[in-house]
Amino acid sequence: MNRLQRPSRRDVLLGTLLLAVLALVAWINLPVVGRVFDRQADRVAALPAASPFRVGQRVLVLSPHPDDETLCCAGTIQQAQAAGAQVFIAWITAGDGFEFDAVLTQRVLDPSPQDMRSLGNLRVQEARRAVAVLGVSPGRTFMLGYPDGGLFRLFTTNYEEAYTAPHTGASAVYVQHALTPGAPYTGLALETDLRRVLDRVRPDVVLAPAPQDFHADHHTLSFIAMRLMSARQQEDRLRFWVVHGGLEWPVPKGLHPNLPLTLPPLAARLPWDRVDLTATQEQRKLEAVNTYQTQTRVLGRFMRAFVRQNELLSPGPLPEQGQAPGRGTTP
Ligand SMILES: [Zn+2]
């Protein structure tokens, strides 16, 4: 643009838009925003505390991607183990669909399918290290290795016919340490793997994403978990969590260990129970988050915003109607 020319309407519009975006980003990230949510904090304080875990209980965390188990439940996992329960983690995908992540970790501008598979294997390693920080040994983890971003397709168009993941080019499980290496990317194979995990773990409590979670992999896994647990007549063993809760939740972004984790806007009406974390448990959660270096480079402020005074678990997948059964209890 010639400097002497007046800015065009398009430039003015773009400038205004840019300012609006910057203002929004600043608003979302300012710690002072926390005060706006005082009312939210009061709501959290009024929630019932989740009942403690018991010796000998078996707890299974269903995690769509490496890092979800830590973001939702790192404090809960620590408390379960401190109470003498055994904790198992099942990752459904290796998180191999995040191209921008591969750009940074593989140092290439246009990641190839092989770069994306390398990212998948890197995230498998990170996941095992992260849960080791929380006290879960690799022997109690299951990497299923289905396609990141593809779970909805697996349960719709690709229940029986293998899906080809656009980022990795894979149509079968390729990651290291997978539960069933070479399993086709179908809904049927994924359900078969999950049934194997349930048969091996025989969980008393299953921590699964809530159906309100915005991410398609998360809410698809929620429906699968409900279906499998209902078939066993054990749906009352499910406890639900949210990671993608809408409206930039959790706000403010970044590390604020002295703030509560407020209710996720998309699932604010679930019958939430509060899990209060000690300072030591928060610190351990932060260490586990920091283990995910491929993720924290891009999403660090989002991820560290989950290191809060509490976590949230709902005994039911739907908003409360009257008195919800099982409120505030673990089986
Ligand atoms: Zn996820």
| 85 Cα–ligand 1 center, Å | 25
Q: Please, which pLDDT band fits residue 313 given cuts at 50, 70 and 90?
A: very high
| 15 Cα–ligand 1 center, Å | 34
| 217 Cα–ligand 1 center, Å | 7
| 60 Cα–ligand 1 center, Å | 16
| 200 Cα–ligand 1 center, Å | 24
| 146 Cα–ligand 1 center, Å | 13
| 216 Cα–ligand 1 center, Å | 9
| 6 Cα–ligand 1 center, Å | 47
| 8 Cα–ligand 1 center, Å | 42
SS (H, E, C) 119-188: HHHHHHHHHHHHHHHCCCCHHHEEEEEECCCCHHHHCCCCCCCCCCCCCCCCCECCCCCECCCCCECCHH
Q: How far is CA 247 from CA 62, 243, 250, 251, 291, in A?
A: 24, 12, 8, 9, 26
Q: How far apart are CA 325 and CA 81, in angstroms?
A: 26
The arithmetic mean of pLDDT across residues 59-79, rounded, is 97
* Rama region for 135: left / alpha / beta (φ>0; ψ in -120 to 50; rest): left
What pLDDT is stored for residue 326 in this prediction? Answer: 43
Summarised one tens digit per residue, pLDDT across range 24-47 is 766 666 555 555 667 888 899 999
> Helix (H, G, I), strand (E, B), or coil: what is residue 24?
helix
Closest Cα partner for 238 from 324, 140, 128? 324
The answer to whether the beta carbons of residues 78 and 135 sit under 8 Å apart is yes
| 28 Cα–ligand 1 center, Å | 21
| 95 Cα–ligand 1 center, Å | 8
Burial 146-173 (b: 16+ CB within 10 A, else e): bbbbbbbbbbeebeeeebebebbebbbb
Q: Please, which pLDDT band fits residue 81 given cuts at 50, 70 and 90?
A: very high
Asked whether the predicted pLDDT for residue 148 surpasses 50, the reply is yes
Tell me which of 18 and 250 has the higher pLDDT.
Answer: 250
| 11 Cα–ligand 1 center, Å | 37
Summarised one tens digit per residue, pLDDT across range 16-25 is 777 777 767 6
| 114 Cα–ligand 1 center, Å | 22
The answer to whether the beta carbons of residues 30 and 252 sit under 8 Å apart is yes
| 67 Cα–ligand 1 center, Å | 7
Return the CATH class of domain 27-313: alpha beta
| 259 Cα–ligand 1 center, Å | 23
Q: How far apart are CA 292 and CA 303, in angstroms?
A: 10
List, in sequence order, every residue forming a beta bridge with 61; answer none if it has no partner.
89, 207
What pLDDT is stored for residue 107 in this prediction? Answer: 60
| 243 Cα–ligand 1 center, Å | 7
Domain ranges, ordered by start, for the chain: 27-313
The answer to whether the beta carbons of residues 217 and 149 sit under 8 Å apart is yes
Asked whether the predicted pLDDT for residue 1 surpasses 80, the reply is no
